[in-house]
Structures are given as structure tokens and as C-alpha cells.
Structure 1
Amino acid sequence: MAIQAVVFDFGGVLIDWNRDYLYQQLIPDESERRWFLDNVCKMEWVVQQDGGQTIEAGTAELIALHPGHEALIRAFYARWPEMVAGVLDEGVALMERLERADVPLFGLTNWSAETFPYAWERFDVLRRFREVVVSGRVGLVKPDPRIFALMFDEIEKHLPGVQPSELVFIDDNLHNAQAATALGWHGIHHTDASSTEAQLRALKLAF
């Protein structure tokens, strides 16, 4: 079947978000910084907020576990914008080529409902998708199949009768791409724009 739509993850594909952008200022020593980000403000904790837990609750919970790091923990969301460097130009250029070719585009992102508005307001590329599903708003995170089901429902409103095999999902997280593939979509693990473009063209997408 021909590809009918492409779904983009945002962070790491279109938006340059990295905890190091903030914490290299706060913890100059690389080994100390890596320990902190691997053991305190680790991604498993970030995903809790991405899944709908409030920043206030998540911060309090982590401080209770690591009271000696309270200032560094509070900085995570207090200075969260400093983790966002801007757009990833090559990823945006790829998205724009698909857009010009009239390929229906959708967004599926793991993102806190409280921080997502910052990016939504500042990066117009995010407002150019037909529909966007934000994990923090729906209380589910990738790779949970249920969030893909919600995305599919939104796509089907625009493309009645669309089949999973007619959808592509692009994500910089391998597990998320694999989850899409397991559901019958074409999951692409995004490592760089040229590789992703080659995989899209292998699926006979003309853009």
C-alpha cells in the first residue's frame, strides 16, 4: 500500500532539546554531571512529567529522594527553556519537503503538558501539523501502544479508512520506532535527516 501520512516525533527530530545545555552550566565537571543526570534527574523521571504528572509533584518527589540536590533538581524545570537550543534545521527541511509535496503530516510527542506551550509558541513548525498528540495532555507516553491508538484515531479523522501499513512514524528513540513497527506502521529510527530521507524514499514516497 502507498504511504498516506507521516507522523513526526518532535524532540531530537525537529527540536533540539538536551539536558546538558543547562547542566553543563550548573555542573561543569562532566563525570559529576553524567552521574547526576543518570541517577537523579534521569530520563525515567522526566517521562513521569511527560506522562501527565505535574512538575510540582515530580519535583517534590525527587527532592524527597535526593534532598542534598534540591537546588539542582529545582533548576530542571525552573530553567527548562535553557535546554532548548532551537530547531534542528535538517529535520525541519525534511518535514518542509514533505509538506510541499502535500503529504499529510501529524505529530506525536512525549512532552510535559506544562512545558509544551513554550515550544508551541516559539517554533512555528510545530503548528503546521494537521493534528498533534502530546503525551502530557493524554496521560500516556510512547512506546505505550495506547498513545499510538490515539494518534491513529486522529489521523483517521482526516484520512478515513487509512490502514496502519500506510503510516510512517519517525522518532529518534529506537524503542518508540520499534513500537510503531510492531503495530503495523513503518517505524523509522531517526539518527540523521539523510538516513530518514533515504528510508522514506525506499517506501516510495515522492517529495
Structure 2
Amino acid sequence: MSSIRHIVFDIGKVLVHYDPEIPYLHLIPDPAKRRWFLETVCTGAWNIEQDRGRSWSDAEALLIAEHPAEADNIRAYRRHWHEMVPHAYDDTVVLLETLIDSGHDVTMLTNFAADTFAEARERFSFLNRPRGVTVSGEVGMLKPDRVIYDTHAQTFGLQPEATLFIDDSEANVAGARAAGWQAVHFTGAGGLETALADRGLLPQN
């Protein structure tokens, strides 16, 4: 029998595809200009502060003050967010739903802006199936900081040593382990299926 009692999924790049470059392929057709924009203006470091809870209006105003000529492209980041998440990873969703349907306790822990997560939940109904979710933008904390793992465990009554966390970020996996959780670095549904089966978490055929 598995020692795992709780399974916690990340969302972006585990359950749904995420690529901020997608809308800019048509918004900024020139590859060099597009690369400069995403590496210098709307960077990952800028975007993650919305995952921490900063409003989009404040985030946009900050960048527009620094790059006024790019105002339209800056505002386009939120306006075209839906294009950045074009589809789910169906093979991972099957594993998520198999775990839930077989009676496992499944929750989610994600770095996500509060408003875009609400939009994602409307688009991807499977995000409503787990028992609950901790959204960084709602609690004002980010993975891999220890406090968000502890908050999630306390909120949902998880035993850290009996919790398995699944995330595509090695830093977030390390953060979970530092919080006393077990963890799997997600690199694809095949590897995750093997990891779950090895722990006795999937139904026997």
C-alpha cells in the first residue's frame, strides 16, 4: 500500500499548455523585436508579480512608464492571455481524473494570477474536479517559497510526508521537498504515469 495520501498538481505546463510568445507571433512578427520585447519588457519576472497578486493595471502602468512606445503591446499581454493557454495536456488530464475517480485526494497548487485562473477554470472544466486549489495570486505567495506549501497543507489538511507534489519546475519541486513533501519533476505524462504506478497510485489493469 502506498504511503501517499494526498496528491497535489501544478497546472501550467503540467495540465495546460502555456507559452506567452504565442500571441506575439502575430502582434510582433519580427523575431528579433519579439525576442527583445519578451526578454526586456514583458518578462517572466514582471509577469510573476501578477501571480503574486499585483493588479494588471499597476503592472501595465509600470512598464508603460518605462517603455511608452510599447504601450499597445504591453496591454496586449493580458488582452491576449487566452491565446497563451491554447489547450490542455489531455494525457495528463486523464491521469488527474483517473486518480480522482479511483478515490485519491487530489488538490492543486499553482502560481497563477487570480483573474486569469478564474478564466482558465471556465475554459477547462477539469480544473474544477480536484478537492481544492491554492492560487498564488489569491494568497499573495509564490512557489517555491516555503510558506505557500505550508499554507496549502494547512488549508487542506495534508500530511506533508504523505503528500506527493507534481510540478514542471525543478525549483518548485525542490521547494516542496524542503517543506517535507514528496515530489515528482514533471517532464511528460509518460514519466508521470510511471512515477504514479511505481508508487501504487494507479488502478491495476
Same topology, TM > 0.5: yes
* CA RMSD in angstroms, aligned pairs only: 1.4
Instruction: Note the alpha carbon deviations across 1:143-193, whole angstroms, 9 max, x for none.
Output: 11111111101221xxxxx53121011111111111101211112111101
- TM (norm. structure 1) is 0.92
In the alignment, the residues of structure 2 paired with residue 63 and residue 97 of structure 1 have an alpha-carbon distance, to the nearest angstrom, of: 46
Please say if 1:167 is aligned against 2:163. yes
In the alignment, the residues of structure 1 paired with residue 170 and residue 161 of structure 2 have an alpha-carbon distance, to the nearest angstrom, of: 19
In the alignment, the residues of structure 2 paired with residue 85 and residue 123 of structure 1 have an alpha-carbon distance, to the nearest angstrom, of: 11
Name the structure 2 match of 1:195: 191
Q: Is the 8 A contact 1:6 1:167 kept in 2?
A: yes
- TM (norm. structure 2) is 0.93
In the alignment, the residues of structure 2 paired with residue 200 and residue 65 of structure 1 have an alpha-carbon distance, to the nearest angstrom, of: 47
Q: Percent identity?
A: 40
Amino acid at match of 1:64: A
* Total equivalences in the alignment: 202
Q: Is the 8 A contact 2:113 2:136 kept in 1?
A: yes
In the alignment, the residues of structure 2 paired with residue 94 and residue 195 of structure 1 have an alpha-carbon distance, to the nearest angstrom, of: 11
Identify unmatched segments of 5+ residues in structure 1.
157-161
Name the structure 1 match of 2:14: 13
Q: 1:33 Cα deviation (Å)?
A: 1.9
SS in 2 for 1:17: coil
Identify unmatched segments of 5+ residues in structure 2.
none
Q: 1:13 Cα deviation (Å)?
A: 0.8
Alignment of 1:16-165 (within 5 A): 16-156=17-157, 162-165=158-161
Q: Is the 8 A contact 2:51 2:142 kept in 1?
A: yes
Instruction: Note the alpha carbon deviations across 1:17-70, whole angstroms, 9 max, x for none.
Output: 211221111122333322221221111111100100000001101111222211
